[in-house]
């Protein structure tokens, strides 16, 4: 990886990505890794990520995200960290990730209301249900959730606990697979 393809704009007090574009040196089509941790980015600011077609790794820890509705298509994104935000609706987040990030292999959502764990006072059963839901919906491409490798046994338990939902094209609703 070329040095100029990795950009860290962590802890800069950024409220949107349009203003951040002046801070990165390589053209946006060359950026493969971007760290935006510890800023003040909100849901709408995610739209600007569409300018990064080669993005492979994105760190959005510690921002002000409440949903992923504005996340653009990021077909090459393999690693996404969303820790310490305010994401609330797990199903909406996961379904948006399925649509927008077909290459996603590693996801971390710790310390969000949508991701029950000991960080936010959840029981072990709530945590296990969260993992099973995410793993079942994301399928085999997801290899790592919250820094923990997904095992074959966990995949089987996830498939039993939560049947995979097949997403219809936008505007046509959702249907369950058989």
Binning pLDDT at 50, 70 and 90, where does residue 30 land?
confident
Residue 130, SS3 per DSSP: helix
The model's pTM is 0.89
What's the mean pLDDT in 92-97?
97
pLDDT tens column, 135-176: 999 999 999 999 999 999 999 999 999 987 665 555 555 444
Residue 143, SS3 per DSSP: coil
The pLDDT score that the predictor gives to residue 176 is: 42
Residue 144 belongs to domain spanning: 3-176
Residues 6+ apart with CB under 8 A from 22: none
Q: Which long-range contacts (CB under 8 A, 24 or more apart) does 89-93 make?
A: 89/114, 90/114, 90/115, 90/130, 90/133, 90/134, 91/133, 92/67, 92/68, 93/67, 93/68
Binning pLDDT at 50, 70 and 90, where does residue 74 land?
very high
- Domain of 95, CATH number, reads 3.80.10.10
- Indicate the number of domains in the chain: 1
- As given in the structure block, the two tokens for residue 174 are 């959702």
């Amino acid at each position: 990886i070329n040095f100029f393809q990795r950009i860290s704009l962590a802890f800069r007090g950024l409220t949107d990505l349009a203003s951040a574009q002046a801070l990165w040196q390589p053209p946006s089509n060359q950026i493969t890794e971007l760290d935006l941790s510890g800023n003040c980015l909100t849901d709408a600011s995610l739209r600007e990520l569409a300018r990064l077609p080669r993005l492979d790794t994105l760190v959005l820890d510690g921002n002000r995200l409440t949903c992923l509705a504005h996340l653009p298509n990021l077909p090459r994104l393999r690693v996404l960290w969303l820790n310490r935000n305010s994401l609330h609706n797990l199903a909406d987040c996961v379904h948006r990730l399925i649509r927008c990030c077909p290459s996603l292999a590693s996801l971390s959502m710790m310390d969000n209301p949508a991701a029950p764990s000991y960080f936010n006072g959840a029981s072990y059963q709530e945590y296990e249900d969260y993992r099973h839901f995410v793993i079942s919906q994301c399928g085999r491409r997801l290899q790592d959730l919250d820094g923990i490798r997904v095992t074959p046994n966990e995949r089987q338990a996830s498939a039993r606990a939560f049947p995979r939902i097949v997403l219809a094209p936008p505007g046509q609703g959702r249907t369950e697979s058989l």
